[in-house]
Protein backbone atom coordinates (compact mmCIF):
# COMPACT_ATOMS: atom_id res chain seq x y z
CA UNK A 1 0.00 0.00 0.00
CA UNK A 2 1.17 3.52 -0.83
CA UNK A 3 -0.03 6.25 1.51
CA UNK A 4 -1.07 9.72 0.34
CA UNK A 5 0.84 12.08 2.64
CA UNK A 6 -0.29 15.41 1.19
CA UNK A 7 -3.18 16.31 -1.11
CA UNK A 8 -4.24 19.61 -2.59
CA UNK A 9 -6.77 20.79 -5.15
CA UNK A 10 -4.84 22.96 -7.63
CA UNK A 11 -7.85 24.01 -9.67
CA UNK A 12 -11.41 22.81 -10.09
CA UNK A 13 -10.28 19.66 -11.88
CA UNK A 14 -6.60 19.28 -11.06
CA UNK A 15 -5.18 17.58 -7.99
CA UNK A 16 -1.71 17.45 -6.46
CA UNK A 17 -0.78 14.37 -4.38
CA UNK A 18 2.42 13.37 -2.59
CA UNK A 19 2.74 9.62 -2.05
CA UNK A 20 5.00 7.73 0.31
CA UNK A 21 7.09 5.57 -2.06
CA UNK A 22 10.76 5.62 -0.95
CA UNK A 23 12.06 3.09 -3.48
CA UNK A 24 10.54 4.98 -6.42
CA UNK A 25 11.63 8.36 -5.01
CA UNK A 26 15.21 7.13 -4.79
CA UNK A 27 15.40 6.07 -8.45
CA UNK A 28 13.08 8.49 -10.30
CA UNK A 29 14.54 10.78 -12.94
CA UNK A 30 12.91 13.60 -14.97
CA UNK A 31 10.69 12.24 -17.74
CA UNK A 32 9.68 9.04 -15.92
CA UNK A 33 6.25 7.94 -14.76
CA UNK A 34 4.42 5.47 -12.52
CA UNK A 35 1.45 3.19 -13.12
CA UNK A 36 -1.02 3.08 -10.27
CA UNK A 37 -4.07 1.10 -9.24
CA UNK A 38 -6.42 2.49 -6.61
CA UNK A 39 -7.85 -0.86 -5.48
CA UNK A 40 -8.18 -4.46 -6.70
CA UNK A 41 -11.15 -3.62 -8.94
CA UNK A 42 -9.42 -0.58 -10.45
CA UNK A 43 -7.74 -0.19 -13.84
CA UNK A 44 -4.07 0.73 -14.16
CA UNK A 45 -3.32 4.33 -15.15
CA UNK A 46 0.00 6.05 -15.86
CA UNK A 47 0.92 9.40 -14.26
CA UNK A 48 4.16 11.35 -14.59
CA UNK A 49 6.40 11.72 -11.55
CA UNK A 50 6.06 15.50 -11.25
CA UNK A 51 8.62 15.85 -8.45
CA UNK A 52 10.44 13.88 -5.79
CA UNK A 53 11.08 14.62 -2.12
CA UNK A 54 14.23 12.55 -1.60
CA UNK A 55 14.43 13.33 2.11
CA UNK A 56 10.91 12.13 2.88
CA UNK A 57 10.92 9.36 0.24
CA UNK A 58 7.84 10.76 -1.50
CA UNK A 59 6.80 11.21 -5.12
CA UNK A 60 4.46 13.87 -6.42
CA UNK A 61 1.62 13.12 -8.84
CA UNK A 62 -0.48 15.85 -10.42
CA UNK A 63 -3.54 14.81 -12.38
CA UNK A 64 -6.56 16.16 -14.16
CA UNK A 65 -9.96 14.56 -13.66
CA UNK A 66 -10.92 13.35 -17.11
CA UNK A 67 -12.74 10.03 -16.62
CA UNK A 68 -13.66 7.32 -14.15
CA UNK A 69 -10.30 6.47 -12.59
CA UNK A 70 -9.06 10.04 -12.21
CA UNK A 71 -12.49 10.99 -10.73
CA UNK A 72 -12.16 8.15 -8.20
CA UNK A 73 -8.56 9.18 -7.43
CA UNK A 74 -9.63 12.77 -6.76
CA UNK A 75 -11.92 11.52 -3.97
CA UNK A 76 -8.94 10.18 -1.99
CA UNK A 77 -7.48 12.31 0.77
CA UNK A 78 -4.35 12.57 2.88
CA UNK A 79 -4.01 9.32 4.87
CA UNK A 80 -5.73 7.15 2.24
CA UNK A 81 -3.65 4.59 0.33
CA UNK A 82 -3.26 3.33 -3.23
CA UNK A 83 -3.07 -0.42 -3.75
CA UNK A 84 -0.22 -0.39 -6.30
CA UNK A 85 2.34 2.09 -7.53
CA UNK A 86 4.85 0.73 -10.04
CA UNK A 87 7.86 2.69 -11.22
CA UNK A 88 9.85 4.56 -12.12
CA UNK A 89 8.93 3.54 -15.68
CA UNK A 90 10.06 4.82 -19.07
CA UNK A 91 13.30 6.31 -20.34
CA UNK A 92 14.47 9.41 -18.50
CA UNK A 93 14.99 12.72 -20.30
CA UNK A 94 18.56 13.30 -21.49
CA UNK A 95 19.51 16.05 -19.08
CA UNK A 96 22.71 17.85 -20.10
CA UNK A 97 23.95 21.36 -20.69
CA UNK A 98 22.61 22.29 -24.14
CA UNK A 99 23.04 26.05 -23.69
CA UNK A 100 19.66 27.78 -24.07
CA UNK A 101 16.58 25.56 -23.90
CA UNK A 102 12.91 26.34 -24.47
CA UNK A 103 10.37 24.43 -22.39
CA UNK A 104 6.69 24.47 -23.31
CA UNK A 105 3.96 23.11 -21.04
CA UNK A 106 0.25 23.12 -21.80
CA UNK A 107 -2.57 22.45 -19.30
CA UNK A 108 -1.85 19.49 -17.04
CA UNK A 109 1.25 18.90 -19.22
CA UNK A 110 2.84 21.64 -17.07
CA UNK A 111 3.14 19.02 -14.30
CA UNK A 112 5.03 16.69 -16.64
CA UNK A 113 7.37 19.40 -17.95
CA UNK A 114 8.24 20.71 -14.46
CA UNK A 115 10.78 17.97 -13.50
CA UNK A 116 12.42 18.36 -16.92
CA UNK A 117 12.86 22.13 -16.64
CA UNK A 118 14.08 21.75 -13.07
CA UNK A 119 16.66 19.15 -14.19
CA UNK A 120 17.78 21.27 -17.15
CA UNK A 121 18.19 24.35 -14.94
CA UNK A 122 20.20 22.36 -12.40
CA UNK A 123 22.42 21.15 -15.30
CA UNK A 124 23.33 24.78 -16.06
CA UNK A 125 21.07 25.58 -19.03
CA UNK A 126 19.51 28.98 -19.67
CA UNK A 127 15.85 27.96 -19.37
CA UNK A 128 13.07 29.84 -21.15
CA UNK A 129 9.72 28.45 -20.08
CA UNK A 130 6.38 28.95 -21.81
CA UNK A 131 3.26 27.84 -19.93
CA UNK A 132 -0.09 27.82 -21.67
CA UNK A 133 -3.66 27.07 -20.61
CA UNK A 134 -7.23 27.95 -21.47
CA UNK A 135 -7.55 30.38 -18.58
CA UNK A 136 -5.52 31.81 -15.65
CA UNK A 137 -6.83 29.30 -13.08
CA UNK A 138 -5.41 26.39 -15.12
CA UNK A 139 -1.83 27.72 -15.23
CA UNK A 140 -0.54 25.40 -12.50
CA UNK A 141 2.89 25.40 -10.78
CA UNK A 142 3.64 28.97 -11.90
CA UNK A 143 5.87 29.87 -8.97
CA UNK A 144 7.74 26.57 -8.99
CA UNK A 145 8.41 26.86 -12.73
CA UNK A 146 9.54 30.47 -12.27
CA UNK A 147 12.03 29.37 -9.62
CA UNK A 148 13.86 27.14 -12.16
CA UNK A 149 13.47 29.38 -15.23
CA UNK A 150 15.55 32.30 -16.45
CA UNK A 151 12.41 33.61 -18.12
CA UNK A 152 8.77 32.57 -17.75
CA UNK A 153 6.19 33.43 -20.39
CA UNK A 154 2.52 32.68 -19.80
CA UNK A 155 -0.14 32.45 -22.50
CA UNK A 156 -3.87 31.95 -22.02
CA UNK A 157 -6.54 31.37 -24.64
CA UNK A 158 -8.79 34.03 -23.06
CA UNK A 159 -6.04 36.51 -22.11
CA UNK A 160 -6.91 36.26 -18.40
CA UNK A 161 -3.20 35.88 -17.59
CA UNK A 162 -0.06 36.75 -19.55
CA UNK A 163 -0.23 36.99 -23.28
CA UNK A 164 -3.53 36.18 -25.05
CA UNK A 165 -2.83 33.49 -27.60
CA UNK A 166 -1.17 30.16 -28.18
CA UNK A 167 2.13 28.79 -26.90
CA UNK A 168 3.36 28.55 -30.49
CA UNK A 169 3.10 32.36 -30.83
CA UNK A 170 5.31 32.76 -27.76
CA UNK A 171 7.73 30.18 -29.24
CA UNK A 172 7.96 32.24 -32.43
CA UNK A 173 8.72 35.41 -30.43
CA UNK A 174 11.54 33.76 -28.49
CA UNK A 175 13.06 32.14 -31.60
CA UNK A 176 12.96 35.50 -33.43
CA UNK A 177 14.78 37.14 -30.53
CA UNK A 178 17.60 34.76 -29.60
CA UNK A 179 19.23 31.45 -30.52
CA UNK A 180 17.78 28.40 -28.80
CA UNK A 181 19.65 25.08 -28.82
CA UNK A 182 16.97 22.54 -27.86
CA UNK A 183 13.31 22.43 -26.84
CA UNK A 184 10.69 20.28 -25.13
CA UNK A 185 6.88 20.43 -25.31
CA UNK A 186 4.35 18.52 -23.22
CA UNK A 187 0.61 19.04 -23.32
CA UNK A 188 -2.41 18.04 -25.42
CA UNK A 189 -1.45 16.06 -28.55
CA UNK A 190 -2.57 18.82 -30.86
CA UNK A 191 -0.42 21.35 -28.99
CA UNK A 192 2.64 19.07 -29.20
CA UNK A 193 2.04 18.57 -32.91
CA UNK A 194 1.94 22.34 -33.56
CA UNK A 195 4.94 23.00 -31.28
CA UNK A 196 6.80 20.43 -33.40
CA UNK A 197 5.81 22.18 -36.64
CA UNK A 198 6.94 25.53 -35.20
CA UNK A 199 10.29 24.12 -34.03
CA UNK A 200 10.86 22.31 -37.35
CA UNK A 201 10.31 25.54 -39.25
CA UNK A 202 13.35 26.96 -37.45
CA UNK A 203 15.46 23.74 -37.42
CA UNK A 204 15.12 23.68 -33.63
CA UNK A 205 15.32 20.16 -32.12
CA UNK A 206 12.19 19.38 -30.08
CA UNK A 207 11.26 16.52 -27.76
CA UNK A 208 7.68 15.65 -26.81
CA UNK A 209 6.25 13.19 -24.29
CA UNK A 210 3.60 10.90 -25.75
CA UNK A 211 0.70 9.74 -23.61
CA UNK A 212 -0.97 6.83 -25.44
CA UNK A 213 -3.10 4.34 -23.52
CA UNK A 214 -0.86 2.20 -21.33
CA UNK A 215 -1.80 -0.97 -19.54
CA UNK A 216 1.17 -3.00 -18.32
CA UNK A 217 3.90 -0.40 -18.82
CA UNK A 218 6.49 -3.07 -19.61
CA UNK A 219 6.37 -3.37 -23.40
CA UNK A 220 4.25 -6.58 -23.32
CA UNK A 221 0.65 -5.56 -24.13
CA UNK A 222 1.23 -3.34 -27.17
CA UNK A 223 -1.40 -0.82 -26.00
CA UNK A 224 1.00 2.11 -26.22
CA UNK A 225 2.25 1.38 -29.75
CA UNK A 226 3.35 4.52 -31.63
CA UNK A 227 5.10 5.02 -34.97
CA UNK A 228 8.39 6.88 -34.69
CA UNK A 229 10.43 7.60 -37.80
CA UNK A 230 8.49 4.82 -39.61
CA UNK A 231 9.18 2.15 -36.94
CA UNK A 232 6.92 0.74 -34.27
CA UNK A 233 7.89 1.74 -30.73
CA UNK A 234 6.26 1.21 -27.35
CA UNK A 235 5.97 4.52 -25.52
CA UNK A 236 6.17 2.84 -22.09
CA UNK A 237 9.66 1.41 -22.59
CA UNK A 238 11.10 3.25 -25.61
CA UNK A 239 9.60 6.62 -24.51
CA UNK A 240 7.48 8.37 -23.44
CA UNK A 241 9.82 11.05 -24.79
CA UNK A 242 10.52 11.11 -28.53
CA UNK A 243 11.78 13.58 -31.11
CA UNK A 244 8.67 15.51 -32.18
CA UNK A 245 9.70 15.51 -35.83
CA UNK A 246 9.75 11.69 -35.90
CA UNK A 247 6.23 11.14 -34.47
CA UNK A 248 3.43 10.02 -36.80
CA UNK A 249 0.99 12.57 -35.33
CA UNK A 250 -2.12 11.66 -37.34
CA UNK A 251 -1.95 8.00 -36.30
CA UNK A 252 -1.18 8.96 -32.69
CA UNK A 253 -4.08 11.40 -32.41
CA UNK A 254 -6.59 8.97 -33.96
CA UNK A 255 -5.47 6.07 -31.70
CA UNK A 256 -5.95 8.30 -28.63
CA UNK A 257 -9.64 8.58 -29.46
CA UNK A 258 -10.32 4.90 -30.14
CA UNK A 259 -11.97 3.99 -26.79
CA UNK A 260 -13.92 7.22 -26.25
CA UNK A 261 -17.44 5.62 -26.25
CA UNK A 262 -16.36 2.99 -23.67
CA UNK A 263 -14.63 5.65 -21.54
CA UNK A 264 -17.73 7.86 -21.55
CA UNK A 265 -19.97 4.90 -20.62
CA UNK A 266 -17.63 3.94 -17.79
CA UNK A 267 -17.60 7.51 -16.39
CA UNK A 268 -21.36 7.85 -16.58
CA UNK A 269 -21.87 4.46 -14.78
CA UNK A 270 -19.43 5.63 -12.09
CA UNK A 271 -21.26 8.97 -11.67
CA UNK A 272 -24.64 7.20 -11.44
CA UNK A 273 -23.23 4.82 -8.80
CA UNK A 274 -21.89 7.80 -6.82
CA UNK A 275 -25.32 9.50 -6.88
CA UNK A 276 -27.02 6.26 -5.74
CA UNK A 277 -24.46 5.83 -2.96
CA UNK A 278 -24.40 9.39 -1.64
CA UNK A 279 -27.86 10.62 -2.69
P1 LIG B 1 -10.87 7.61 -19.23
O2 LIG B 1 -12.28 8.11 -19.36
O3 LIG B 1 -10.66 6.14 -19.03
O4 LIG B 1 -10.04 8.14 -20.41
C5 LIG B 1 -9.97 9.51 -20.80
C6 LIG B 1 -8.76 9.67 -21.73
O7 LIG B 1 -7.58 9.42 -20.96
C8 LIG B 1 -8.72 8.66 -22.87
O9 LIG B 1 -9.40 9.14 -24.00
C10 LIG B 1 -7.27 8.48 -23.09
O11 LIG B 1 -6.78 9.54 -23.89
C12 LIG B 1 -6.66 8.64 -21.72
N13 LIG B 1 -6.49 7.34 -21.04
C14 LIG B 1 -7.43 6.49 -20.57
N15 LIG B 1 -6.91 5.36 -20.04
C16 LIG B 1 -5.56 5.51 -20.18
C17 LIG B 1 -4.45 4.69 -19.85
N18 LIG B 1 -4.59 3.49 -19.27
N19 LIG B 1 -3.23 5.12 -20.17
C20 LIG B 1 -3.04 6.35 -20.74
N21 LIG B 1 -4.06 7.17 -21.07
C22 LIG B 1 -5.29 6.77 -20.80
N23 LIG B 1 -2.52 12.63 -16.81
C24 LIG B 1 -2.44 13.55 -15.84
O25 LIG B 1 -3.45 14.15 -15.48
N26 LIG B 1 -1.25 13.84 -15.22
C27 LIG B 1 -0.09 13.23 -15.58
O28 LIG B 1 0.97 13.49 -14.99
C29 LIG B 1 -0.15 12.25 -16.62
N30 LIG B 1 0.96 11.61 -17.01
C31 LIG B 1 0.88 10.64 -17.98
C32 LIG B 1 2.05 9.99 -18.33
C33 LIG B 1 2.02 9.02 -19.30
C34 LIG B 1 3.31 8.32 -19.68
C35 LIG B 1 0.80 8.69 -19.95
C36 LIG B 1 0.78 7.63 -20.98
C37 LIG B 1 -0.37 9.33 -19.58
C38 LIG B 1 -0.35 10.31 -18.59
N39 LIG B 1 -1.50 10.98 -18.18
C40 LIG B 1 -1.41 11.96 -17.21
C41 LIG B 1 -2.83 10.66 -18.73
C42 LIG B 1 -3.61 9.76 -17.75
O43 LIG B 1 -3.01 8.50 -17.69
C44 LIG B 1 -5.07 9.63 -18.21
O45 LIG B 1 -5.68 10.90 -18.14
C46 LIG B 1 -5.85 8.66 -17.33
O47 LIG B 1 -5.41 7.35 -17.55
C48 LIG B 1 -7.35 8.79 -17.61
O49 LIG B 1 -8.04 7.77 -16.91
P50 LIG B 1 -9.59 7.89 -16.63
O51 LIG B 1 -10.13 6.53 -16.30
O52 LIG B 1 -9.85 8.95 -15.62
O53 LIG B 1 -10.20 8.42 -17.99
FE1 LIG C 1 1.79 -2.25 -22.70
FE2 LIG C 1 3.39 -0.23 -23.33
S3 LIG C 1 1.76 -0.23 -21.94
S4 LIG C 1 3.33 -2.21 -24.17
MG1 LIG D 1 -10.35 4.87 -17.57
Which DSSP symbol is given to 44? P
215 neighbors 166 (Cβ within 8 angstroms): no
Residue of 44, 214, 233, 240 to test ligand 2 pocket, by largest number of atoms within 8 Å of CB: 214
User: Which residues, 6+ apart, have CB-to-CB distance to 244 below 8 Å?
Assistant: 185, 192, 193, 195, 196, 199, 200, 206, 207, 208
Query: Which atom of ligand 1 is nearest to 61's Cα?
Result: 28
182 neighbors 194 (Cβ within 8 angstroms): no
What pLDDT, on the 0 to 100 scale, is given for residue 269? 76
Q: Which fold has domain 100-256?
A: Rossmann fold (3.40.50)
Ligand 2 pocket, 216 CB below 6 A? yes
Residues in the chain: 279
Q: Three-state DSSP class for 208?
A: strand
pLDDT tens, the chain, 279 aa long: 999 999 999 988 999 999 999 999 999 999 999 999 999 989 999 999 999 999 999 999 999 999 999 999 999 999 999 999 999 999 999 999 999 999 999 999 999 999 999 999 999 999 999 999 999 999 999 999 999 999 999 999 999 999 999 999 999 999 999 999 999 999 999 999 999 999 999 999 999 999 999 999 999 999 999 999 999 999 999 999 999 999 999 999 988 766 676 777 777 777 777 777 766
H/E stretch holding 59: strand 58-64
Which DSSP symbol is given to 1? -
Ligand 1 pocket, 88 CB below 6 A? no
Per domain, the residue ranges of the chain are 2-89, 100-256
Angle between helices 167-177 and 189-201 (to 10 degrees): 20
Between the alpha carbon of residue 70 and those of residues 13, 42, 212, 236, the distances in Å are: 10, 11, 16, 20
User: Which residues, 6+ apart, have CB-to-CB distance to 265 below 8 Å?
Assistant: none
**Identical fold at 2-89 and 100-256?**
no
**113/3 Cα distance (integer angstroms):** 25
Angle between helices 249-256 and 189-201 (to 10 degrees): 170
* Cα–Cα nearest to 156, from 164, 168, 146, 148: 164
What pLDDT, on the 0 to 100 scale, is given for residue 277? 72
Q: In what order do the strands lie in the sheet with 45-48?
A: 45-48, 33-37, 84-89
**279/170 Cα distance (integer angstroms):** 47
Q: What pTM was computed for the model?
A: 0.94
CA of 223 to the centre of ligand 1 (A): 13
Ligand 2 pocket, 236 CB below 6 A? yes
What pLDDT, on the 0 to 100 scale, is given for residue 259? 67
CA of 263 to the centre of ligand 3 (A): 6
Query: Which atom of ligand 1 is nearest to 72's Cα?
Result: 52
What pLDDT, on the 0 to 100 scale, is given for residue 271? 75
Classify domain 2-89 by CATH architecture: Beta Barrel (2.40)
Ligand 2 pocket, 44 CB below 6 A? no
Amino acid sequence: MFKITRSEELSQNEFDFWIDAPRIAKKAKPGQFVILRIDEKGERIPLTIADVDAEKGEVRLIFQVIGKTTAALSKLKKGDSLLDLTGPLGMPTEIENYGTVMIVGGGVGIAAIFPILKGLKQAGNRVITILGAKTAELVILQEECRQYSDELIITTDDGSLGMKGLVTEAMEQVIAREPVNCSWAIGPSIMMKFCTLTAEKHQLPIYVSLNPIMIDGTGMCGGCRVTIDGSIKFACVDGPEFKGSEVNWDEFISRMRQYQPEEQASLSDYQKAQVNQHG
